[in-house]
Amino acid sequence: MLAAPLPTVEINPGPTPVAVVIWLHGLGADGHDFEPIVPQLRLPPELPIRFVFPHAPEIAVTAFGGQRARAWFDFNPAMGPDLPGMKKSASQIRDLIQNEIDGGTPAERILLAGFSQGGVMAFHTALYYPKRLAGILALSTFLADGERLATDKAAANANIPILMCHGAHDTVLPMSLGESSRVALVNAGYAVEWREYPMAHEVCRAEIRDISEWLQTVLGQTGLDGYLTLRPAANRMA
């Protein structure tokens, strides 16, 4: 039985978008969680980006005493990652990517972003996706299945741009998890940009500024006809 399509919150620029960012929320949140970040990014009008914020399915979460919450997979600290749940959600995220491709955006202009559990899914989906994607934005998160990279990683995304951001005072997902994930990715041959901030399990203004500049760099560089090549404006968030 096919899973129902994920409901989404969408923010569309006025002109035809030149890229799409699919942004995955964290455990217990929903697609509205990162909706307010779009205007804070202050992206230039020459780089119209469509943002898609899907709602994860509601499932029983072990860490919440079995209560139902929006989650990409079950979370049980004693058992480790819920790989079957991750596989199911990855299939639904791939459907979202395909919807954007069917709508006219090439796969290489689609970027996956995620916070916390959403970042786990951004890694789990993009690193094994068979078509070239634009990049991975991984916020306060970790790589849950790095051992697969040796045999299953997608050649199409071997050089995918990756930005990892983490808070030095994160007690939910300690920064050591992010750091060890970065090491695993580098050892597997990926180039990873790393940023750390004096914050907890959250997002701060300096991080938003860095994300904006990175998106402008990654999504402004293209070999496709009809798209502009932009340079990030260092003072755009001032």
Kindly report, residue by residue over 11-68, the tens digit of the pLDDT: 999 778 999 999 999 999 999 999 999 999 999 999 999 999 999 999 999 999 999 9
Strands 80-81 and 75-76: antiparallel
Q: Which domains does the chain have, with CATH numbers?
A: 8-220 (3.40.50.1820)
The phi, psi pair for 85, rounded to 5°, reads -65, -40
> For 186, left (φ over 0), alpha (ψ -120 to 50), or beta?
alpha
Could you tell me which residue, 75 or 39, shows the higher pLDDT?
Answer: 39
Kindly report, residue by residue over 107-124, the tens digit of the pLDDT: 999 999 999 999 999 999
Residue 233, pLDDT above cutoff 70: no
Active site residues: 116, 170, 201
